[in-house]
């Protein structure tokens, strides 16, 4: 009875830690958290049928008679938030890009904007670590108004685990979706293929529904020549980032090879997975001679959140404008590398500014006014038919 073994509301769940496919028989349940006093409890036929958690029946057990309080992945032993078993769909994305590309800043402002944009899709952390990390990052960027420190390299990135509650439905049961996000260190991404973390990153890549490849325009030589020095200095992670601007193209190629290996795709085949290519730090390009022009859509506020849907025409215009801009700069190597490896109809180019303006010399932010940071996630949710395409 395969159907009976799938998680309560979905048939395609993966463990957010080890990314292996999860079914009910791959989950161990325990009656309480206390590791010394807990018992493993098992789902009965009726539990499965009624889609409810098993209950401990042992005499004198503290957890007797109440639904199991802990669930653990049988493969990796990591804890699964109990809510995790009840989601309708499992989404995940992997943030990829060289060191200092702006991944963590983007993730922070994107999640913040998503939470505070009054959208009918409500985002909540599901584990204590995610709550802590996101509060810290929020506090850093929005209250202390300071750039984030670089993400620690050489260690497996801990997944951030969120749920999205869909309040658009009138149905009695509100659908929830699990959203797992991996934000590793760019340094590890640059060394991909020759890195101790490869098996871990490989699993994250294979398990992700969507890739978010962050692309830093300040690494393009034409842009570096035009952006004022102080802006350049404050908008790059100097300690990590100064050395090799060409790394990005090398990274895309290495990454693509690596994705092929992880997903078992032949070298001559294009990669068939949703890929958002996100140009970061758009604010630094505003005053350039060869900028996007004042009428450019990419420089205008994003319409998606306001319209409560994904505005396809706006997004494809942005994609075009950025491609055109890169072409005019003679900087097509990066996108060529993308197009040579990824299936064209699955790739979309986005432009964002996480902060809305460059940090000052001391990496402080006068104000945080993110620009278009929701576009990539709205695209992903639209692809999943969670958000309507307009
Ligand atoms: N002007 C400008 N600079 C930005 C923006 N976002 C990030 N930066 C700059 O880029 C630096 C690196 O940003 P991070 O978000 O830490 O980059 P990362 O990709 O997470 O880097 P690693 O963790 O090392 O892989 C920041 O310290 C800022 O100086 C932005 O929206 N505008
Ligand atoms: Mg980071
Ligand atoms: Zn696991
Ligand atoms: Zn018990």
Tell me which residue has tokens 């850093």. 140
Q: Which of 224, 359, 352, 236 is nearest to 299 (CA)?
A: 352
**Does 243 have pLDDT greater than 60?**
no
Domain count, the chain: 2
Among protein residues, the one whose CA lies closest to atom 12 of ligand 1: 100
Cα 107 to ligand 2 centre (Å): 9
Decide if pLDDT at 244 tops 90.
no
Return the number of other C-beta atoms located less than 10 Å from residue 37's C-beta. 13
Ligand 1 site, residue 99, Cβ cutoff 6 A:
yes
Asked if the structure places residue 140 within a domain, the reply is yes
* Interior angle at CA 258, CA 252 and CA 263, nearest 5: 125
Task: Please give the pLDDT value at position 355.
Answer: 97
101 lines ligand 1 (CB under 6 A): yes
pLDDT at 181: 92
Say yes or no: 167 and 52 in one domain.
no
Average pLDDT for 235-259 = 74
Q: Is residue 62 part of a domain?
A: yes
Give the integer Cα–Cα distance in Å for 6 and 24: 6
Same structural domain, 120 and 16 = no
Greater model confidence, 303 or 7: 303
CA-closest residue to ligand 1 atom 14: 102
Cβ-in-10-Å burial (0-12, 13-18, 19+) of 67 comes to middle
pLDDT of residue 119: 94
Task: Give yes or no: residues 122 and 16 share one domain.
Answer: no
- Asked whether 100 lines ligand 1 (CB < 6 A), one says yes
Per-residue pLDDT at 36 exceeds 60 = yes
358 Cα nearest atom in ligand 1: 1
- Does ligand 1 lie within 6 Å of residue 105's CB atom? yes
Q: Hey, whose CA ends up nearest to atom 9 of ligand 1?
A: 235
CA distance 188 to 318: 30
Task: Answer for the pair 186, 151: CB distance below 8 angstroms, yes or no.
Answer: yes
Average pLDDT over residues 20-33: 91
Indicate which atom in ligand 1 lies nearest the CA of residue 189: 25
- State the Rg of the chain over Cα: 22
Residue 382: name the closest of 182, 173, 210 by CA: 210
pLDDT tens digit sequence for 322-352: 999 999 888 888 889 999 999 999 999 999 9
Domain span at 328: 89-383
pLDDT value of position 1: 42
Mutation probe of ligand 1 site: the residue of 95, 96, 100, 108 with most atoms within 8 A of C-beta: 100
Instruction: Name the nearest CA neighbour of 158 among 114, 127, 115, 124.
Output: 127
Amino acid 297: pLDDT: 96
Asked whether residue 364 carries a pLDDT value surpassing 90, the answer given is yes
Residue 135: how many CA atoms within 13 Å on its side-chain side? 8
| Mean pLDDT lowest among 122-126, 166-170, 203-207 | 203-207
- Express as a percent the part of the chain with pLDDT over 70: 96
The proportion of the chain whose per-residue pLDDT surpasses 90, expressed as a percent, equals 54
CA–CA gap between residue 180 and residue 157 (Å, rounded): 12
Ligand nearest 42 Cα, by number? Answer: 4
User: What's the mean pLDDT in 242-263?
Assistant: 76
Which atom from ligand 1 is nearest to the alpha carbon of 106? 15
- 122 and 107 share one domain: yes
Assigned domain for 325 exists: yes
Which band of pLDDT confidence, cut at 50, 70 and 90, is reported for residue 319?
very high
Residues in contact with 370: Cβ distance below 8 Å, sequence separation at least 6, in sequence order: 109, 110, 112, 113, 352, 353, 354, 355, 356
Q: Of 50, 85, 120, which one is at a domain's C-terminal end?
A: 85
| Any domain includes 26 | yes
Supply the pLDDT for residue 74. Answer: 94
pLDDT band at 2 (very low <50, low <70, confident <90, very high): very low
Look up residue 139 and give its two tokens: 């506090």
Over residues 207-225, the mean pLDDT reads 89
pLDDT for res 245: 55
353 lines ligand 1 (CB under 6 A): yes
- Do residues 366 and 360 lie in contact, with contact meaning Cβ atoms separated by under 8 Å? yes
128 with 147, same domain: the answer is yes
Choose between 243 and 279: higher pLDDT: 279
Any ligand 1 atom below 6 A from CB of 235: yes
Distance 155 CA to ligand 3 centre (A): 17
Same-domain pairing of 192 and 97: yes
Query: What value does the mean pLDDT of the chain take?
Result: 89
State the average pLDDT over residues 252-264.
Answer: 85
Same domain, 45 and 136: no
54 in the same domain as 127:
no
239: confidence class by pLDDT, cuts 50, 70, 90: low
> What is the CATH number for 378?
3.40.50.300
Flag whether 390 is in a domain. no
Give Cα separations from 379 to 58, 60, 133, 386 (angstroms).
49, 52, 25, 10
Give the ligand at the shortest distance from the Cα of 14: 3
Residues 270 and 136 in one domain: yes
Residue 291 pLDDT: 80
Residue 143: predicted pLDDT: 96
Distances in Å between the Cα of 370 and the Cα atoms of 15, 40, 186, 390 are 32, 47, 22, 23
Q: Are 69 and 192 within one domain?
A: no
Give the HSE-up count for residue 79: Cα atoms under 13 Å, Cβ half-sphere: 15
Q: Are residues 284 and 379 in the same domain?
A: yes
The residues pairing with 364 across neighbouring beta strands, listed in sequence order, are 146
> Which comes out higher in pLDDT, residue 88 or 294?
88
Q: Quote the CA–CA distance of 92 and 211 in Å, as a whole number.
A: 9
Residue 241: predicted pLDDT: 60
186 with 146, same domain: the answer is: yes
Flag whether 347 is in a domain: yes
């Amino acid at each position: 009875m395969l159907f009976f073994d799938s998680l309560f509301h979905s048939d395609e769940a993966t463990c957010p830690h080890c990314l292996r496919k999860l079914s009910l028989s791959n989950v161990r349940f325990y009656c309480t958290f206390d590791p010394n006093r807990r018992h493993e409890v098992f789902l009965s036929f009726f539990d499965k049928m009624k889609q409810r958690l098993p209950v401990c029946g042992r005499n004198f057990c503290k957890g007797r008679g109440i639904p199991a309080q802990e669930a653990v992945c049988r493969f990796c032993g990591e804890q699964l938030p109990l809510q995790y078993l009840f989601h309708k769909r499992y989404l995940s994305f992997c943030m990829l890009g060289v060191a200092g590309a702006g991944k963590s800043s983007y993730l922070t402002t994107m999640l913040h904007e998503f939470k505070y944009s009054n959208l009918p899709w409500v985002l909540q952390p599901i584990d204590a670590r995610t709550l802590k990390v996101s509060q810290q990052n929020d506090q850093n960027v929005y209250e202390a108004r300071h750039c984030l420190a670089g993400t620690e390299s050489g260690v497996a990135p801990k997944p951030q685990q969120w749920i999205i509650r869909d309040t658009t439905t009138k149905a009695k049961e509100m659908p929830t979706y699990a959203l797992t996000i991996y934000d590793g260190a760019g340094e590890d991404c640059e060394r991909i293929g020759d890195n101790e973390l490869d098996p871990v990153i490989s699993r994250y890549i294979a398990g992700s529904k969507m890739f978010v490849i962050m692309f830093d325009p300040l690494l393009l030589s034409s842009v570096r020549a035009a952006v004022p020095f102080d802006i350049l200095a404050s908008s790059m992670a100097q300690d990590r980032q100064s050395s090799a601007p060409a790394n990005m193209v090398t990274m895309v190629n290495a990454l693509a090879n690596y994705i092929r290996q992880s997903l078992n795709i032949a070298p001559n085949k294009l990669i068939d997975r949703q890929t958002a290519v996100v140009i970061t730090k758009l604010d630094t390009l505003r005053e350039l001679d060869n900028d996007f022009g004042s009428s450019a859509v990419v420089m205008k506020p994003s319409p998606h959140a306001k319209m409560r849907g994904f505005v396809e025409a706006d997004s494809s215009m942005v994609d075009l404008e950025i491609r055109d801009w890169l072409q005019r700069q003679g900087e097509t190597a990066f996108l060529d590398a993308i197009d040579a490896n990824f299936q064209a109809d699955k790739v979309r180019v986005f432009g964002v500014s996480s902060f809305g303006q460059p940090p000052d010399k001391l990496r402080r932010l006068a104000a945080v006014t993110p620009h278009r940071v929701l576009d990539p996630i709205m695209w992903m949710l639209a692809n999943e038919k969670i958000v309507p395409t307009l």
